[in-house]
Amino acid sequence: MPYQFIAVQDRDSIRTVTLSRPEKRNALNDALVRELHQVILETEDDDTIRCVVLTGEGSAFCAGADLGYLQRIAAFSPQENESDSRALMEMLWAWTSCAKPTIARVNGHAIAGGCGLMLACDFAVAVNQAKFGFTEVRIGFVPAIVMNLLRRRIGTGRATELLLRGRLIESAEAAAIGLIHRPVPGDELDAAVQEIANDFVERTSPTSLRLTKELLLETEGMALREAMIHSVRFNAVSRTTPDFRRGIQAFLDKRKISWKDD
């Protein structure tokens, strides 16, 4: 489908989704949230796509909520606000639970909801000059939905400090606390993202990736024994897949396997 606020490019089984509101620093509004939700649902159903890269056009990754959008929601009824909040949650959940690996190519600042959008991706590679933070409490807002993604990534203690102080941190600190996976100079960003994407396309089984992501989500928050018991079914199911048989045969034959053309 045609999009107004995002651009989509497919190449070598990798889909790149670009937030395309550079004049607004790729800030979120209801229309952009809908488009981000729609594109990840379409990607989920597209067997030609093996990996998704999310990035921003211009100097920012995503600056959070659009100011005009914030002015509008200030006049919403309680029912309208709940519906709008649920739409944001469902979009972030669709990205978080996508069966295909997702990479945030963080080309600039990721603030508030923009940082939450980054956290909905499996990996985050960011330029050194990017800044990150949840500034909602400084404008009387609550980072209610994105805090769950933040706590999942860096733990409650570190999340609490960022959420309550509302301060911005730089890439080096973001990497040190696990908020992002890798900071790089700007001229190395594309190569770093491509290296990770190539791993998914060429070196990993799509079935294994899907089952592993599903298991990670399903066992999160379980007690250890409960999680291990739950995992038995996934272990057993994985042994029956064509990918498993193909991978084991290649291992026994002592030959390399490429999953690129599957």
Question: Tell me: the pLDDT tens digits for 65-82?
Answer: 998 888 898 899 999 999
The model's pTM is 0.95
Contact criterion met (CB below 8 Å) for 171 and 115:
no
Distance CA 126, CA 130 (A): 7
Question: What single DSSP character describes residue 186?
Answer: G
**If we measure between CA atoms, which residue out of 120, 133, 63 comes closest to residue 93?**
120
Q: Which residues, in sequence order, are bridge partners of residue 6?
A: 19
Catalytic residue among 136, 161, 173, 226: 136
Contact criterion met (CB below 8 Å) for 180 and 205:
no
Q: What is the pLDDT of residues 181-235, one digit of tens each?
A: 999 999 999 999 999 999 999 999 999 999 999 999 999 999 999 999 999 999 9
Q: Is 136 a catalytic residue?
A: yes
Q: What is the pLDDT of residues 83-134, one digit of tens each?
A: 999 999 999 999 999 999 999 999 999 999 999 999 999 999 999 999 999 9
Separation in Å, CA 207 to CA 96, 204, 211, 215, 250: 17, 9, 6, 12, 16
Domains and CATH numbers, the chain: 6-200 (3.90.226.10), 205-252 (1.10.12)
